[in-house]
Each structure stands twice: as structure tokens, then as C-alpha cells.
Amino acid sequence: MVKYMSKRLLRSLVTVFIIVSTVFILMRQLPLDGFLPNVDKMSQEQIKNSLALLGLDKPIHVQLGNFWKQLILHGDLGTSYVYRNNVATMKVLSTKIPLSVKLGTMAILLGLLLGLPLGILMAKHKNKFPDHLGTVFIVFIEAVPAAVYYLFIQLYGTELFGLSLLFREGDWRTWILPVFSLSLPDIIYFAMWIRRYTVDESTKDYVQLARIKGMSEQKILYRHVFRNAFVPMVQYLPSSFLNTVVGSIYIESLYAVPGMGGLLIDVVKKQDNNMVQAIVMLFSIVGIIGLVLGDLMMVLLDPRISFVTKGGRR
């Protein structure tokens, strides 16, 4: 177990290293105005001096080395020169991260809260009206791009309930639509999963036995099926995490939530290379942490799962 986890962590670190280095090297190939906002008005001399000041004139591997040194020793992901004038990107981000995390966590919880009952309802009425209705809903959310239905939720949601179009942290009502939109992919995933699992499992021997013993369907569902279904579901949590992260890019910008995702769109439009780089790196790192946590939780939750290979494997 410890051996597996340390191996898993090491592998993730290698992945982080490769991703961060690749992103860094790619970003250095971009035109200079992403680093020096006034590059058009500067003379050759000035450009040279500014580049030397920022350390951008050195060979790429030296720059990469410096970047890693800064990152490891100071947790520094570079400095913003365009979006903010000469402010460390981490300083800009540090105020935005907690809000994004809060929004994402609420969305995943809401996804569980609405998705599981929906799935159970569909399984209970298999091939009847509620099941069909749920399937239509799932197909719609799965097939139609999120970018489109998020827009309509904002448009009609704010009109119907008289809510504000824009997000304000102090006003709880403005949280409703962003969190709900963000949770939609989770809702349908959990619903789909629980429905299929419950349907598949209801013909298994242990359920049959429970039924013969006279256990009520309700009890079978919660005592047996549900518990077994939960373990593989944990596996999905990391990708749900990733989805939420990506979804937040669009949602935060739509509702003007001052979080990380909205910021990414801002800095892309303003062409601040270092900010784009920092956010992309941070998002990838968050994604990888999510995957590791998902694996860890699965091992902890289910004693039957072991990732340590035993003898006899082909």
C-alpha cells in the first residue's frame, strides 16, 4: 500500500515536471509583447535591457532552471507584466483560488445531492416514464455543448427568478445559478452511474437472497446495492474535479465570478504570457492532485482493491 502510493506519487511528480517544463518552453516561443506590454514603442536598446532585466535573454535551459528554482524555493510561478504591472502571479491568484475551490466543491456536492436520487428514481421505474424523462435529460446534457446550455440557464434563470446576472460574493442568491450550472455534468454522471449499477445489481445472487429473506426493496437498495455502488463512483470524483475546473472557466466568466477560471479568459484576452502560463500550470497540477486523491480514496474505501500486483499476473 505504502509502496504503491509512493510510486504513484513519484509518477505524478514526473508528470507535473514534464507538463510544467513543456508549458514553460512553449510559452517562451511567443512574441515579446506578451512579456513587454509596450514593445512597439521601445527602441532596440530598451528591449535588450528589459529582456536582460527579466532574464529572458538567457538560453532556454537556464531560464527553465531558474523558473524551477523559484517555483520550488519560493512557490513563485513568475511575474505578471501585462495584466498587472510587475506583480507576482501567485499574489494575483491567491485571492482568487479560495473562491474557485468553494464554488467547485459546492457544485460536486450538489451533483451528488441531485444526481443520486435521480438515478435511483430512474432505476426504480425502469423503462417507464420517469426513466425515459431522465434519459432525455441525460442525453441533452451530454450531447449539447455546455457552452450553450450554460448560456440559456443564465438567460432564462435570471429572468424567471429575478436573479442578478452577475455574481456577488456576499449575496447567496447569486451563487445559485453558477453552482447549479457547474454541477450539471456531475448530476447526470452520478444519475447514470447509480441507475446502471442498481439495474445490473438487482439480478445478482446476493440481492436475490436478501429478497428471499424478505428484506424490503428499500433496505436492499440502501444496505447492499448502494454501498457497493459507491466505491467505483469514487473513481469518478477526480475527473469530476477536472470537469469542474474546466467548467469553471466558462461559468466564472459568464457570471463575472472573480475566480481562477474567469481570470484565465481575462489574461488570454489581454495576452499576458506569464499569467496564462501560471494558470495553465496550476490547473494541470490541480488535475493531477485530484487523480491521485481519487486513487487514494478508492484504496482506503474498499479493502478488496489493491494496486500491488501479486504473483500469477500475465
Contacting residues toward another protein, per CB under 8 A: 11-12, 15, 18-19, 23, 26-27, 29-30, 139-140, 142-148, 151-152, 155, 242, 245-246, 249-250, 253, 264-265, 268-269, 276, 280, 283-284, 287-288, 291
Distance in angstroms (rounded) separating the CA atoms of residues 231 and 301: 7
Which CB atom, from 150 or from 224, has the smaller least distance to another protein? Answer: 150
Which CB atom, from 140 or from 161, has the smaller least distance to another protein? Answer: 140
Contacts by residues 51-59 (CB-CB < 8 Å, ≥ 24 positions apart): 54/81, 56/28
Exposure letters 36-47 (e unless 16+ CB within 10 A, then b): bbeeeeeeeeeb
Which CB atom, from 140 or from 222, has the smaller least distance to another protein? Answer: 140
CA dihedral 114, 246, 192, 150 (to 10 degrees): 60
Per DSSP (E only), the strands in the chain are: 79-80, 87-88
Contact between 47 and 39 under an 8 Å Cβ cutoff? The reply is: yes
Least Å distance, CB 223 to another protein, is 31
C-alpha cell at 30: 511567443
DSSP symbols for 105-132 = HHHHHHHHHHHHHHHHHHHHTTTSHHHH
What's the burial of 62, exposed, middle or buried (CB within 10 Å: 0-12/13-18/19+)? exposed
Least Å distance, CB 302 to another protein, is 22
Which CB atom, from 199 or from 215, has the smaller least distance to another protein? Answer: 199
Least Å distance, CB 79 to another protein, is 19
Least Å distance, CB 305 to another protein, is 19
Which CB atom, from 12 or from 202, has the smaller least distance to another protein? Answer: 12
C-alpha cell at 206: 446476493
Least Å distance, CB 303 to another protein, is 26
Least Å distance, CB 280 to another protein, is 6
Which CB atom, from 57 or from 266, has the smaller least distance to another protein? Answer: 266
Which CB atom, from 156 or from 222, has the smaller least distance to another protein? Answer: 156
- Give residues with Cβ within 8 angstroms of 243, minimum separation 6: 185, 186
Which CB atom, from 81 or from 250, has the smaller least distance to another protein? Answer: 250
Distance in angstroms (rounded) separating the CA atoms of residues 135 and 188: 9
Distance in angstroms (rounded) separating the CA atoms of residues 14 and 105: 27
Least Å distance, CB 187 to another protein, is 18
Contact between 288 and 16 under an 8 Å Cβ cutoff? The reply is: yes
Residue type, 136: V
C-alpha cell at 121: 428514481
